[in-house]
């Protein structure tokens, strides 16, 4: 199990609240309206960012725009991280 944290972000305000807490090796999963930010290149270099596929599809964003994860992969990420934080 990773010592890094998994940050689950659902909107733009969640990104703003989460940013001060991000550490190298952390993973971010963008869900709901936060998937609109998946193309943002301002994430720190040592942060892995995924967008939930189903939310990309529902917002008509091409899956190739960023790293994606389906629900099963999302559950796997939760199991791989010691801390899961929702923003």
pLDDT for 52 = 96
Residue 3 has pLDDT above 90, yes or no: no
pLDDT for 59 = 92
pTM of the model: 0.91
pLDDT for 6 = 97
Going from N- to C-terminal start, the domains of the chain cover 2-86
| b (16+ CB within 10 A) / e for 61-87 | beeeebebbeeeebeebeeebeeebeb
Q: Which listed CATH number (2.40.10.10, 3.40.718.10, 3.40.1260.10, 1.10.10.1200) goes with 2-86? A: 3.40.1260.10
pLDDT for 71 = 96
pLDDT for 39 = 77
Is the model more confident about 41 or about 61? 61
3-class SS at 61? coil
The first and second tokens of residue 8, run together, are 């689950």
């Amino acid at each position: 199990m990773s010592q890094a944290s998994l940050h689950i972000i659902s909107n733009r305000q969640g990104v703003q609240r989460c940013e001060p807490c991000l550490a190298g090796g952390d993973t971010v999963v963008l869900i709901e309206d936060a998937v609109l930010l998946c193309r943002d290149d301002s994430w720190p270099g040592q942060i892995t960012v995924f967008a939930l596929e189903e939310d990309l599809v529902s917002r008509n964003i091409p899956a190739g725009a960023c790293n994606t994860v389906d629900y099963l992969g999302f559950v796997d990420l939760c199991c791989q991280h010691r801390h899961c934080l929702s923003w």
